[in-house]
Structure 1
Amino acid sequence: MPASLQIPLTPPQSEQVLRRQAEALAGYSLGELAALAGLPVPDDLRRDKGWIGVLLEMWLGASAGSKPEQDFAAIGVELKTIPIDSSGRPLETTFVCVAPLTGNTGVTWESSHVRHKLQRVLWVPVEGERQIPLAERRVGAPLLWSPSPEEDEQLRRDWEELMDLIVLGQVERITARHGEVMQLRPKAANSKALTEAIGASGEPILTLPRGFYLKKNFTGALLARHFFSPENK
């Protein structure tokens, strides 16, 4: 294990620095990185779902923590780890941010939190197949990505459809099938963590918090295009 691999003491000040640090992690196992960082490896991710993200945030110098801004706020980059199978396909949807269920007057796609989060993303694939013990799963090569005009349009259409339903008091009728590339799903630790929303008649109601998630068809196409296209061979 190279001694030169060190946790940065300050957040990266440029995309180039961030990319180099992410590329340096490629090929390491999560167990190796956790040992170097002094972090225990959980038995599984059922109770520690965000553990991989926390580990990689440490190694990359992310600054946001739980604040509602990009992980690398100084350079405008969001970090997204993505579990993949042996063929490089995503194994699950990707959480983007919590959805606002009230106070949405005047919000547009251009000013939305979703678009802000997805303007520039560092994708870090990680082996995610369950038969591989967590400590032995390896980190893949990173990708710095911004939505193409076509991708931005796909995301905008889904966001507008979902936000229209929220504003019209239909939040509890939204299912994971709504949206072509982005969906809205409950995002809560338990069924008692309720938040305010608008009901069908415009009345205030309590419902589970919701989050925006990128569907696997979107992230799968994104990874395939960048990692497996002929021009990147």
Structure 2
Amino acid sequence: MPDYFSPVLPPENEAALLERARQLAGFTLGELALRAGLTIPRDLRRDKGWVGMLLERYLGASAGSKPEQDFADIGVELKTIPVDAQGRPLETTFVCVAPLTGNSGLVWETSHVRHKLARVLWIPVEGDRAIPLAERRVGAPLLWSPSEEEELLLRRDWEELMDMIVLGQVERITARHGEVLQIRPKAANSKALTEGIGENGQPVMTLPRGFYLKKAFTAPLLARHFLL
């Protein structure tokens, strides 16, 4: 396992990244946090990104909060995913912020969602709330790109949701829209507003939105890999 106390350089290629991820499998979050000198939060309600941040330290992620892939040099995005005892995802997976303005001419091929999901390193982590955070184990990694069928499903949902945004219907979008991809508010509180487009084309203030993968997409993806 990489020793956090000597800085971990970004991986040179996918094989190096996958090997690092495999070395983390089986360790608890507590063991990894202790070696990295990080304090473990009581729970993840206020520290949603803590698990991902912890694993990034060992894997050598370079993007930080920048709007690019976590391993930009080799074009790979890291997604940790909490799973139950049967390996099924426990929640939706955040992809990226949804653009609410300036979308004229935007197409799927050049979209941020497609860019983020082109190549993903999935790392399942035990997510059962009955297990203390420090005792939850890291699972075996999966390096994945969407199949033609998966990309078609993602594209169809993205185009439907973006059409609603462009037509000023952002407030009508619910989590039920989209078969495998959804848009939900993404804000720390109801006062964190951003600019959007109203039904008559006028500027409006609304909650920031994010794209999320539904469990209906990630569950079969993990099941195929782990032969569940």
State the TM-score, normalized to the length of structure 2: 0.98
Q: Give runs of aligned pairs for residues 1-233 of structure 1, distance below 5 A.
A: 4-7=1-4, 9-228=8-227
Q: Which amino acid letter does the alignment assign opposite residue 122 of structure 1? A: L
Tell me the CA shift for residue 48 of structure 1: 1.1
The one-character-per-residue Cα deviations of 1:53-105 (angstroms, maximum 9, x if unpaired) are: 11011111000000000000000000000000000000000000000000001
Q: Percent identity?
A: 75
* 1:182-202, Cα deviation, whole Å (9 max, x unpaired): 000000111111011100011
Do 2:63 and 2:70's aligned partners in 1 also have CA atoms closer than 8 Å? yes
Cα deviations by residue, 1:95-147 (Å, 9 ceiling, x for unpaired)? 00000000001010000000000000000000000000000000000000000
Q: Provide the C-alpha distance between the structure 1 equivalents of 2:63 and 2:183, rounded to a whole number of angstroms.
A: 23
Once the two structures are TM-superposed, the CA of residue 9 in structure 1 deviates from its matched residue by: 2.3
> What secondary structure, in the 3-state scheme, does the structure 1 residue paired with 2:108 have?
coil
Query: RMSD value over aligned CA atoms?
Result: 0.8
DSSP 3-state at the match of 2:216: helix
Matched-pair contact (CA < 8 Å) for 2:28–2:137: yes
How many residues get paired? 226
Residue 67 of structure 2 aligns with an amino acid whose one-letter code is P
Distance (Å, rounded) in 2 between the aligned partners of 1:218 and 1:136: 27
* TM-score, reference length from structure 1: 0.96
Task: Note the C-alpha offset of 1:5.
Answer: 4.0
Structure 2 unaligned blocks of 5 or more? none
Specify every segment of 5 or more residues in structure 1 that has no aligned partner in the other structure, as ranges.
none
Separation (CA, whole Å) in 1 of partners of 2:45 and 2:98: 23
Instruction: Point out 4+ residue stretches in structure 1 off by more than 3 angstroms.
Output: none
